[in-house]
Amino acid sequence: MSSAQILVVDDEQEIRDLVEEILKDEGYRVRTAHDGASAREAMRDPVPDLVLLDIWMPDVDGVTLLKEWTEGGGPACPVVMMSGHGTVETAVEATRLGAWDFIEKPLSMPKLLLTVERALEAARPRPPQPGVGAEPAPEPVGKSQAMRRLREDARRIAVHDTRVLLRGEAGSGKRCIARYIHEHSPRRAGPFIEVSAGGLGEGLGVADLCGLEREGETVPGALELAQGGTLYLADVCEMEPALQGHLLGVLKAGRFQRQGGARVVDLDVRLIAGTRVELADAVRAGRFREDFYYYLDVVPLVVPALREHVEDVPELLQYYVNRLVERDGLQYREFTLAAQNRLRNHSWPGNVRELENLVQRLLIMGEGEKIDVDEVEAALEEAAREGTGAGRGLSADLHLELPLREAREAFERRYLQEQLRRAQGSVGQLARLTGMERTHLYRKLKALGIDPRESA
């Protein structure tokens, strides 16, 4: 969670309240101001880390305020202008005066959050080559035929500097295989940079990938950070179609320009993409560009689900016990043979990630040197109640005796409460689970009397 402090300046209380609620849910500290006078006061000690500034206010317009701060030596923090009556001229003038960006109302909350994140990121010092020198990637664990074949195929692919498309269910270990390919390739001495395609917005995503130049400042993007190494594009299936087209053009040309810049940068990056859905199906459904799919699908590699190599479960259990004890300082505990056999017969819908989470829970919550089958059974039952098991109870909450509107509200309340609990109180994750746009989701939660913070 971020601890950055953001000042929201807007004369409309509804907008102030909505933006404040959303930003607080994302972990930011928020102050608000309703006009120019209160904004001037709020810009004094302590100075915020970022200002969201409305253009039109009753006493003074936002551009005039920005000009005041610029004449005083420049804004002490990034300023993002907001307006429902924006024009190109206003945006250009605000940018000339030092505004970091300009967004239009009605606000798109995903775009607002991405703009906030990018502005704060640009304002803080960037360590050289983030992601390099991180915890070394482990070799994919398992002595099963499926895992032996996967490691052999990965090593064979690694020596050829070509694109790779990793297919596999969520939690199956695609990132681990991507790192394994990188570390067995001629690029092993270069950086390994991971980007989640689902977090790239259509507009700001270009800057995230290609970098940004503004007011003499250069912020490198993922492509530049990965120069000489590997870029792993996780969940490529979630990338916006327009951004797919832009990236495809960059990759084919072998060069790119930073957003706002003029210099052409030659590209020296190996691309590995990961997907949990069949991209061919996404192409047929119109959710993924056909040309980008064929560009990526040069060397496909399937990462098997854990249920396809359950004979590796005992080795995986031991690996994660050792890793969590060493990394997190947890108490060492050993799975009994009966416990291991029970877990070999589990279906593992969440794959290796589910197994790691289960081991972590048992090490944290359990006592004693041994983890027996009864403790494993209880942990699996608890996980089922928190996941699909709890969802099965939704049908019992249908109020068929109520009028349609009230029954629908009752179901929506129960549904959102359950999904919010699964998301551990995160509205961002809730939006992903429900497929709802975040602004609409916040209004729905407020209308139903659901406080996300109570589910955190």
CATH number at residue 226: 3.40.50.300
The reply to whether 195 and 280 lie within a common domain is yes
Residues 313-324 have a mean pLDDT of 94
> What is the phi/psi pair of residue 193, to 5°?
-115, 130
The two tokens of residue 42 are 């709020």
CATH number for the domain harbouring residue 424: 1.10.10
In a domain, 13, yes or no: yes
* 43 C-beta neighbours (distance < 10 Å), count: 22
pLDDT, tens only, 112-127: 888 888 788 766 644 3
Neighbouring-strand partners of residue 194:
232
H or E element, residue 300: strand 299-302
In a domain, 132, yes or no: no
Give the pLDDT confidence score for residue 182 in this predicted structure. 95
In a domain, 282, yes or no: yes
The reply to whether 161 and 275 lie within a common domain is yes
pLDDT band at 364 (very low <50, low <70, confident <90, very high): confident
The b-or-e profile of 18-36 (16+ CB within 10 A means b, else e) is: bbbbbbebbebebebbbbb
3-state secondary structure (DSSP) of residue 308: helix
CB contact at 8 A, 158 and 97:
no
The reply to whether 428 and 347 lie within a common domain is no
The reply to whether 98 and 35 lie within a common domain is yes
Structural domain ending residue among the three candidates 281, 304, 327: 304
By the 10 Å C-beta count (0-12 exposed, 13-18 middle, 19+ buried), 112 is classed as: buried
Kindly write down the DSSP assignment for every residue of 5-46, as one continuous string. Answer: EEEEE-S-HHHHHHHHHHHHHTT-EEEEESSHHHHHHHTSSS
Number of domains comprising the chain: 4
Answer yes or no: is pLDDT of 307 > 90: yes
CATH number for the domain harbouring residue 318: 1.10.8.60
For 416, the domain range is 398-455
pLDDT, tens only, 168-208: 998 899 999 999 999 999 999 999 998 888 666 545 678 88
The reply to whether 318 and 300 lie within a common domain is no
Please state, in angstroms and rounded to a whole number, the distance separating the CA atoms of residues 407 and 422. Answer: 23
Answer yes or no: is pLDDT of 455 > 70: no
Picking from 6-10, 46-50, 180-184, 437-441, which range would have the lowest pLDDT averaged per residue? 437-441
In a domain, 130, yes or no: no
In a domain, 138, yes or no: no
The reply to whether 295 and 380 lie within a common domain is no
What share of the chain in percent tops pLDDT 70?
A: 81
The reply to whether 153 and 263 lie within a common domain is yes
The reply to whether 319 and 428 lie within a common domain is no
pLDDT band at 100 (very low <50, low <70, confident <90, very high): confident
Higher-pLDDT residue of 106 and 188 is 188
Answer yes or no: is pLDDT of 434 > 70: yes
Give the pLDDT confidence score for residue 326 in this predicted structure. 87
Kindly write down the DSSP assignment for every residue of 229-278, as one continuous string. Answer: SEEEEETGGGS-HHHHHHHHHHHHHTEEE-BT---EEE---EEEEEESS-
What separation in angstroms does the CA of 38 have from each of 28, 41, 103, 336? 20, 5, 22, 64
Answer yes or no: is pLDDT of 395 > 50: no
The reply to whether 269 and 154 lie within a common domain is yes
The reply to whether 157 and 276 lie within a common domain is yes
The reply to whether 177 and 220 lie within a common domain is yes
**Taking the C-alpha atoms of 282, 287, 290 and 293 in order, what is their torsion angle to the nearest 10 degrees?**
-60
Structural domain ending residue among the three candidates 273, 304, 335: 304
pLDDT band at 424 (very low <50, low <70, confident <90, very high): low
In a domain, 38, yes or no: yes
In a domain, 137, yes or no: no
In a domain, 226, yes or no: yes
The reply to whether 63 and 189 lie within a common domain is no
| Long-range Cβ contacts of 125-128 (<8 Å, 24+ apart) | 126/219, 126/220
> What is the phi/psi pair of residue 384, to 5°?
-65, -40
